């Protein structure tokens, strides 16, 4: 009896530990730093109706027909992705649990911190390459909305941003 209960508890612990979180590439097929062609191919696989628009900067828009995922990625005139915004459904009601799981799935470490991104109070993490994840907002369809930005890429490709929309405060 004890061994069977231990095995069941161990299996439940593995599931609760994040093994059920979709791999980063499945969850978000495009990231800052990707080339425009690579990002286009990745998004086309996730969303066959993906579109590309824009003159200098290119905007890649992807929406799954079932509404479970919408992505907009922005590429610089040099053809590198520097900004990604997306909305996704989640059964997780606790925003802190959702954001921590998302950060882990996308390869960010640590607890993150409270940040202001434009007019939104969000949780944020900064990656080793300078990419920042902001998460914790819900849209009108109750999907979580998250953002990946990389100001270093934006600055290298287009010059310094005119305004920095972010202020970070340690918890």
pLDDT band per the 50, 70, 90 thresholds, residue 160: confident
In what side-by-side order are the strands of the sheet with 144-149? 51-53, 58-63, 69-75, 81-88, 144-149, 132-138, 120-126, 113-117, 166-169
| Mean pLDDT value across residues 131-153 | 94
Please give the distance of CA 147 from its chain centroid, rounded to a whole number: 5
Q: Report the b/e string of 41-64 with b at 16+ CB within 10 A.
A: ebbbebbeebeeeeeeebebebbe
Residues pairing with 81 in the sheet:
75
pLDDT at 26 over 50: yes
Identify whether the C-beta of residue 57 lies closer than 8 Å to the C-beta of residue 70. no
Q: Quick one: what percent of the chain has pLDDT higher than 90?
A: 66
d(CA 32, CA 35): 9
Least confident of 23-37, 53-67, 77-91, 137-151: 23-37
Domain ranges of the chain: 22-169
Average pLDDT score over residue span 117-141: 94
pLDDT given at position 161: 65
The yes-or-no verdict on residue 45 having pLDDT over 90 is no
- pLDDT for residue 162: 57
The pLDDT of residue 4: 35
Q: How confident is the model at residue 27 (pLDDT cuts 50, 70, 90)?
A: confident
Cα–Cα distance, 12 to 163 (Å, whole number): 47
User: What are the φ/ψ torsions at residue 133 (nearest 5 degrees)?
Assistant: -100, 125
Q: Which residue has the higher pLDDT, 27 or 130?
A: 130
Query: pLDDT at residue 24 above 70?
Result: no
C-alpha atoms less than 13 angstroms from C-alpha of 101 in its C-beta half-sphere: 20
For residues 121 and 21, the answer to whether their CB atoms sit within 8 Å is no
Q: Tell me the range of 19-28, 74-83, 157-166 where mean pLDDT is highest.
A: 74-83
Give pTM, 2 decimals: 0.79
Residues in the chain: 171
């Amino acid at each position: 009896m004890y061994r069977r209960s231990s095995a069941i508890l161990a299996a439940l612990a593995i599931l609760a530990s994040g093994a059920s979180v979709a791999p980063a590439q499945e969850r978000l097929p495009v990231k800052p730093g990707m080339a425009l062609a690579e990002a286009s191919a990745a998004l086309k696989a996730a969303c066959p109706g993906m579109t590309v628009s824009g003159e200098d900067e290119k905007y890649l828009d992807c929406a799954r027909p079932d509404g479970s995922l919408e992505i907009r990625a922005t590429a610089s005139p040099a053809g590198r992705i520097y900004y990604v915004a997306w909305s996704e459904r989640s059964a997780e009601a606790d925003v802190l649990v959702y954001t921590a799981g998302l950060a882990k799935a996308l390869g960010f470490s640590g607890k993150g911190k409270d940040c202001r991104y434009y007019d939104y109070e969000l949780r944020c993490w900064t990656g080793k390459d300078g990419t920042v994840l902001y998460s914790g907002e819900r849209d009108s369809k109750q999907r979580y909305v998250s953002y990946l930005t990389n100001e270093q890429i934006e600055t290298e490709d287009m010059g310094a941003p005119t305004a920095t929309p972010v202020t970070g405060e340690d918890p």
